[in-house]
Chain A
Amino acid sequence: MKSRLRELRAARGWSQADLAGRLGVSRQTVNAIETEKYDPSLPLAFKVARLFKLPIEEIFDHEPTGA
Chain B
Amino acid sequence: MTDRLFPEGVQTSCATAVKLNAWALVALLASAFAHWFVRRPDLGGSLRAAVALAPLVPSLLYVRAIARWIRSLDELQRHIQLEAWFFATTGTIFVATALSLLGGTGVLRGTRFAGGLGWEGTYALTFFLWVLGCAISNRRYR
List A residues at the B interface (Cβ < 8 Å): 20, 24-29, 31-32, 37-38, 40-41, 44
Beyond A25-B76, A26-B9, A27-B9, 18 extra complex contacts between A and B, CB < 8 Å? A20-B9, A24-B74, A26-B8, A26-B10, A26-B74, A27-B8, A28-B8, A28-B9, A28-B141, A29-B74, A29-B75, A29-B77, A32-B76, A32-B141, A37-B141, A38-B76, A38-B79, A41-B75
List B residues at the A interface (Cβ < 8 Å): 7-10, 74-77, 79, 140-142
* Interchain Cβ contacts under 8 Å between A and B, 22 examples: A20-B9, A24-B74, A25-B9, A25-B75, A25-B76, A26-B10, A26-B76, A26-B77, A27-B8, A27-B9, A28-B7, A28-B8, A28-B9, A28-B76, A28-B141, A29-B9, A29-B75, A29-B76, A31-B142, A32-B76, A37-B140, A38-B76
C-alpha spacing A29/B77, complex, angstroms: 8
A29 to chain B: which residues have CB within 8 Å?
A: 9, 74-77
Number of A-B contacts (CB under 8 A): 38
B79 touches A25 (CB 8 A): no
C-alpha spacing A43/B50, complex, angstroms: 46
